[in-house]
Amino acid sequence: MSECEHPARIVAGRLDEGPRAGATPAAAAVNRFIARREDDRDDLAARWDARAADGAATAFQSGRWVATWYSTIGPAVGAPLRIAVHDRATGVLAALLPLVVRTVARCRVVEFADCGVSDYNAPVLGPAAPADAPGAELFWAAVRTALPDADLVRFKRMPREIEGRVNPLALLAAARASTGSSNVVAIDGSWADFLATLKGTLRRQVARHWRAFLRHDGARFRHVTDPAEAAPILAALERQQSARLRGRGVPYALDAPHLAAFYRKLLADSLGEGSVVLTALTCGDEVVAVLLGIARGATYVMLRMSIGGVEWSACSPGRMVILQTMKMLHARRCRYFDFSIGDYDYKRRLGATSRPLVELTVPLSPRGWPLAAVEGAKRLVRGNRALADLARRVMAAFPPRRRHPESV
């Protein structure tokens, strides 16, 4: 009987396996953690959040986000795989991992619940999560016992830290630097203090553009909290974003039925809770710009943005909706504004600082080795400027389908 099949029960919120007769100190070290697959479907969001109440997570691993993902995108892309890891001796939660098993090039690949909508992938860290490399290796060994028959583990875009706590997956010897990075603006002082950090030219431009926008009758900034009012705003975001990206020759996939259903259900279920933030600039009935983001604690992450007609471009509606949203949330004690992945000038101009991400690719069978080799080749190209330039020239001739286009 494998570890993931060993009978156990939950007592007072902790895992209880009963007595382990004959356990030696060495065996206790090797078996420090125990991992099991879970299949809770009823009220998944509430159950997930309750177990993670004392933990650390990104906004992309909240109960509502995870539940919405599994009910919309999950069935369209693969088999759900949720793993809970506990400290074997105490039963205290170490981590929750929202995963999926997908078929890629005839290989069974274990990934985080993502498929282009979660900018950051990470476990939810419980009180017993390890914070050192030896503990992380024991943690990973336990996770592997709970994995189904698969060929490859491929974890992308993982933060090194999660709400100030180290991500044990980032400590593994097999972890490598990821392609992109997060871009975060931290505001410790007042809103005026933040504006003072911007270059004088930019400050004056921001103020001038806002005055120009407000001169239009009916022009205003809106925080949309009513799901009924949000539906047409989201529809405008979908139309505008699709037109903008496709007009620039960028393949657009977010209107695929399962992806569109995800965002619509997320807004319908979460808008009133405050974990989803929908803001917009409108002028009468016209939607000028839309910004969709998610929040957890003192952190806000921008997800998708759209801009209306070209007649508004002179007043930079994208930057205006970003800054007005930041100002509103700062007044509500939000202090970290995450501009998401993607290296763009506007993020640096607004003071964003890059934070590196990591990835983990581990073959689990001979069938998984070719895919692992491909991932290794990609890292090699990224680390060699000459190879990267050559790859860009080749890819320009044969543009790939973009999995997660930059949307902010």
Instruction: Write down the pLDDT at residue 5.
Output: 35
Assigned domain for 354 exists: no
pLDDT in tens, the chain (408 residues): 333 333 343 333 444 444 343 444 444 456 899 999 998 777 899 999 998 888 999 999 999 999 999 999 999 999 999 999 999 999 999 999 999 999 998 999 999 999 999 999 999 999 999 999 999 999 999 999 999 999 999 999 999 999 999 999 999 999 999 878 999 999 999 999 999 999 999 999 999 999 999 999 999 999 999 999 999 999 999 999 999 999 889 888 999 999 999 999 999 999 988 899 999 999 999 999 999 999 999 999 999 999 998 899 889 999 999 999 999 999 999 999 999 998 889 999 999 999 999 999 999 999 999 888 887 777 665 655 554 454 445 445 544 444 343 333
Q: For residues 224 and 263, state if they share a domain.
A: yes
CB 161, CB 118: distance < 8 Å: no
Residue 179 is predicted with a pLDDT of: 78
Tell me, yes or no, whether 167 and 223 share the same domain: no
The domain spanning residue 214 has which CATH number? 3.40.630.30
Tell whether 212 and 121 lie within a shared domain.
no
pTM of the model: 0.85
Q: Which of 165, 121, 162 is nearest to 341 (CA)?
A: 121
The three-class DSSP label of residue 103 is: strand
- pLDDT score at 13: 41
Domains in the chain, number: 2
Quote the DSSP letter at residue 105: T
Beta carbons of 15 and 91 less than 8 angstroms apart: yes
> Measured between alpha carbons, how far is residue 85 from residues 74, 78, 104 in Å?
22, 22, 26
Q: In sequence order, what E strands does 3-118 have?
A: 9-11, 14-16, 33-38, 79-87, 93-104, 107-112
Instruction: Label residue 71 exposed, middle or buried (CB < 10 Å: 0-12, 13-18, 19+).
Output: middle
Judge if 37 and 169 occupy the same domain: yes
Task: State which amino acid sits at residue 155.
Answer: F
Residues 70 and 16 in one domain: yes
Instruction: Give domain status of residue 343, yes or no.
Output: no
Q: Report the alpha-carbon distance of residue 154 to residue 174 in Å, rounded.
A: 11
Pairing of strands 33-38, 79-87: antiparallel
CA distance 52 to 40: 15
Q: Give the C-alpha separation, 241 to 247, whole Å.
A: 10
Q: Calculate the dihedral angle through the C-alpha atoms of 229, 231, 232, 238, rounding to the nearest 10 degrees.
A: 140
- Domain span at 204: 188-334
Per-residue confidence (pLDDT) for residue 389, from 0 to 100: 53
Q: Is residue 342 part of a domain?
A: no
Do 9 and 152 reside in the same domain of the chain? yes
194 and 243 part of one domain: yes
C-alpha span between 30 and 141 (Å, rounded): 9
| 321 and 380 inside one domain | no
Residue 243's pLDDT is what? 93
Considering the domain architecture, whether residues 77 and 165 belong to the same structural domain is answered as yes
Nearest to 304 by CA among 291, 321, 313, 294: 291
Same domain, 135 and 252: no
Whether the Cβ atoms of residue 143 and residue 96 lie closer than 8 Å to each other: no
In a domain, 345, yes or no: no
Do the domain assignments include residue 66?
A: yes
Let me know whether 175 and 316 are in one domain. Answer: no
Residue 47 lies in a domain: yes
**Do the beta carbons of residue 87 and residue 33 sit within 8 Å?**
yes
